[in-house]
Amino acid sequence: MTTPTVLVHRDADLLAQAIAARLVTRLVDVQTARGSASLVLTGGGIGIKTLAALAASPARDAVDWRRLDIWWGDERFLPSGHPDRNETQARQALLDEVDLDPARVHPMPASDGPDGDNPEAAADRYAAELARAARPEDHGPVPAFDVLLLGMGPDAHVASLFPEMPALYDTRPVVAVRGAPKPPPTRISLTLPAIQAAKEVWLIVAGAEKAPAVRLALSGAGAVQVPAAGAVGRVRTLWLLDRAAAREIPSGLTRIASP
């Protein structure tokens, strides 16, 4: 388990730009060292804002997009192209703008996909895709993702892991979630063990309504009550916050990156 590092930027716009810059640097470093890199995307407000900031950044061309594997941490189980799908939003914000290798883009299945309206089968299908991509050195059923991005809801949910729900006890890498408190009710999500396989987990959070959940997650709460508390990377766990989201955490824990 890695100890989280907390960095605070002035507001959501600056936060998104700072995360985009950090992503460029990290992905270029990994590609230089190893040839290719992997990135797990999140949905949600700051997640999509970050992708838009990356699309608008002149530095984005430093990344070799064709040597990047793109995965998702969760998906709203809706038909392909639905505007509420995290995939649709990510494509509009960034993915349609850069020269990706389509074989390296791994969206979670849609409700009109090969398994039809069966989220359990769709989750199993995604788990199988992850297992095929895992290398022996990953020591598990999912790749050791280089960077895994996670937004967080005001209830401290990450991906589609909502407090007290059965998915939090599941040891499979991918699960179907039914009855989510945030619409749509049916979703697919990586579980905590899959998230914890990532080398770096970056929690990206903006907005005052999330401040209490940020405080709880950084105060030793349990992952069943506060799922974000269980989101830790193997090598690094970064909390990247705007000032509003950071306002309830003890000052000794944070570093002010942009005052």
Ligand X SMILES: O=C1O[C@H](COP(=O)(O)O)[C@@H](O)[C@H](O)[C@H]1O
- Work out whether 86 is an interface residue with ligand X (CB under 6 A): yes
Q: Whose Cβ is closer to ligand X: residue 17's or residue 31's? A: 17
The pairing of beta strand 187-190 with beta strand 74-76:
antiparallel
The interface region with ligand X, picked from 10-18, 40-48, 162-170, 222-230 by CB under 6 A, is 40-48
* Helix, strand, coil distribution of the chain in percent, nearest 5: 40, 20, 40
Which two three-digit tokens encode residue 209? 């309504």
Residue 42 touches ligand X, criterion: CB under 6 A: yes
Query: Does 182 help bind ligand X (rule: CB under 6 A)?
Result: yes
- b/e code 172-199 from CB counts within 10 Å (16+ = b): ebbbbbeebeeeeebbbbbbbebbbbbb
Look-up of token digits 């914890």: 196
CB of 76 to ligand X, least distance (A): 6
Nearer Cβ to ligand X, position 68 or 213?
213
Q: Name which position in 153, 163, 173, 233 contacts ligand X (CB under 6 A).
A: 153
Asked if residue 160 binds ligand X (CB under 6 A), the reply is yes
Choosing from 4, 43, 143, 233, the residue that interacts with ligand X (CB under 6 A) is 43
Q: How many chain residues touch ligand X (CB under 6 A)?
A: 14
226: left (phi over 0), alpha (psi -120 to 50) or beta: beta
Residue 46 near ligand X by CB under 6 A:
yes
User: Per rule CB under 6 A, is residue 227 in the interface with ligand X?
Assistant: no
Residue 47 touches ligand X, criterion: CB under 6 A? yes
Closest approach, Cβ 252 to ligand X, in A, equals 26
Reference 150, options 66, 9, 39; nearest CA is 39
Site for ligand X in 55-84 (CB under 6 A): 74, 76
Between 11 and 61, CB nearer to ligand X = 11
Regarding 44 and contact with ligand X (CB under 6 A), the answer is yes
Residue found by looking up tokens 């605070």 in the block? 8
Does residue 191 touch ligand X according to CB under 6 A? no
Q: Which is nearer to ligand X, 7 or 177 (CB)?
A: 177
Strand segments, DSSP code E, in the chain are 5-9, 37-41, 68-72, 74-76, 147-150, 174-177, 187-190, 200-205, 236-242, 254-256
Q: Which of 153, 111, 124, 127 is nearest to 71 (CA)?
A: 127
User: Which residues in this chain contact ligand X in the complex, by CB under 6 A?
Assistant: 42-47, 74, 76, 86, 151, 153, 159-160, 182
